[in-house]
Structures are given as C-alpha cells and as structure tokens.
Amino acid sequence: MRAMAFRRCVIVVSSVLLSLAAIAGPAAAAVQVQQIAEVDFGPSKITAEAAQSTYDDTAASLYLVSYRKAAQHWEEQDRLRLRSEGDWFWYPLTSPQGTCHFHRDGDAIIAGFLETPSAGCSPDARIQLHPDGHFVRY
C-alpha cells in the first residue's frame, strides 16, 4: 500500500516538474555568449562579447570585457555593457561582418558594431581604459 502511494507521489511530482519545465521553455535555456572581437592593450586585453537574449533569440546584449594576465591565465577585471540589455540583433552582431571597428587609440578603445545589414554600423564608441584594467565610466 505504501509502495503504491509512493509511486503515485513520484508520478505526480514528475508530472509537475515536466509541466514547469515546459512553461519555462526558452527562458530556462543557458545564455549563449560569443566573443566577437579582441585587442591587446598592454598588460590587458579587451574583448567584445555578444550575449544572446533568453527571452528573444534574435536580440543580444553587447559587453566590453577587460582581462589582465595573472600567472598563466587571463583574469576578468571589468565588464561594460554597451547600450541597454537586448538592444542589439544577435545574428548581424555575431556575423563575420559584425565588428566594424575595434582597435586601440592611445588609452581608449574605439568600437563600432553592425546594427543591421541595412542600417550599417553603429556610431563609434570611444571607451577609456584606466591603467588598472577598469573602464572609465562617465
């Protein structure tokens, strides 16, 4: 009798968990991140990383990430989001043409990225990098 009740309980709990997983759908998926550009910056390196939205697979957020060499690996120092969350389009941004400009200019990074194939590239962003590897925020 107890074994039968236990089996029913397991079946009910399993059904509820499967239902919740189906409802969560894409929102429960892991965020896909793709590095789209990189530049050396003295003892640091700066990357541009696109993060696909969990609620709309055509949307993305774009981050500049600074790393500093620590022993034998790169250690993240700072992360700066360009624009609002989900303000970029995933497919143009991660295409081979997605990075329009990404280079060093003195103590700054000049970065421009593809908004859409028809709209072209975003206006260049000029982001200062502090000597300690952190982005200067205004």
* pLDDT score of 131: 87
SS3 51: strand
CB 47 within 8 A of CB 35: yes
41, pLDDT greater than 70 = yes
**pTM given for the model:** 0.75
Confidence of residue 17 (pLDDT cuts 50, 70, 90): very low
11, pLDDT greater than 60 = no
Confidence of residue 78 (pLDDT cuts 50, 70, 90): very high
Confidence of residue 119 (pLDDT cuts 50, 70, 90): very high
Tokens of 24: 């969560």
Q: Compute the distance between CA of residue 94 and CA of residue 79 in angstroms, rounded to an integer.
A: 19
* pLDDT score of 71: 84
Nearest to 121 by CA among 110, 132, 131, 130: 110
10, pLDDT greater than 80 = no
In the chain the first and final C-alpha atoms are separated, in Å, by 69
